[in-house]
A = this chain, B = another copy of it.
Amino acid sequence: MSSPLAAEAAHPEGLRAVMRRHAAGVAVITTRDGGPVGFCATSLASVSLEPPTVSFGVALGSTSGRAWRGAAHGIVHLLRSDQAAVASAFAVSGPEKFAGPVGWRWGPGGLPLLDGVLAWMLVSTRTRLVVGDHLLVVADVRETAVEPGGGPLVHHDGRFLTPDQGSTRPARMA
């Protein structure tokens, strides 16, 4: 093959290497399954504007994965650049994450709502798809809330970055 980059047949570590080069905003997605359940996601994407719809992936073997096999609703929180400790707390297993570095309350829909985030969305499951080791959830957005200030936490190459301190240039993308 005449590519300028050496290509190799895909395997899990190959995808991991590619996605380490990618950058992603960081979300914490909560639901209720008896008690509060939540996980840190770098897979949040907007799918459709009309109707407003998002998607995210959750590991099937995790507590959140088990919850999302049946969950009808959740709250998607976008983390602020100063919330790396929150992301780390929700990236590991265990119930202690809700006793960790972020305050929360029972919010709309009887769901865990985290304090101090950039923005959040109350979502309702539209479709679930098992894809390999993950559940892909497509969800309708029911309510939105946006905090005017602050910048996003970004995950790249195994680290958190604060892009509001990076260089910027105007873009034509919507």
Binding site for B on A (CB under 8 A): 1-12, 14-19, 21-25, 27, 40, 42-57, 78, 84, 87-88, 91-92, 105, 107-108, 113, 115-122, 126-127, 129, 131-134, 136, 138, 140-147, 151-156, 158-174
For this chain, the copies found in one complex come to 2
Q: How far is the CA of A129 from the CA of B127 in the complex (A)?
A: 10
Q: How far is the CA of A11 from the CA of B122 in the complex (A)?
A: 12
Q: How far is the CA of A87 from the CA of B78 in the complex (A)?
A: 24
> What's the minimum C-beta distance from A135 to chain B, rounded to whole angstroms?
9
- For A84, the chain B residues whose CB sits under 8 A away are 169, 171
- For A8, the chain B residues whose CB sits under 8 A away are 143-145
- For A21, the chain B residues whose CB sits under 8 A away are 78, 118-119, 146-147, 152
Q: How far is the CA of A82 from the CA of B168 in the complex (A)?
A: 11
Contact between A53 and B138, CB atoms less than 8 A apart:
no
Contact between A160 and B171, CB atoms less than 8 A apart:
yes
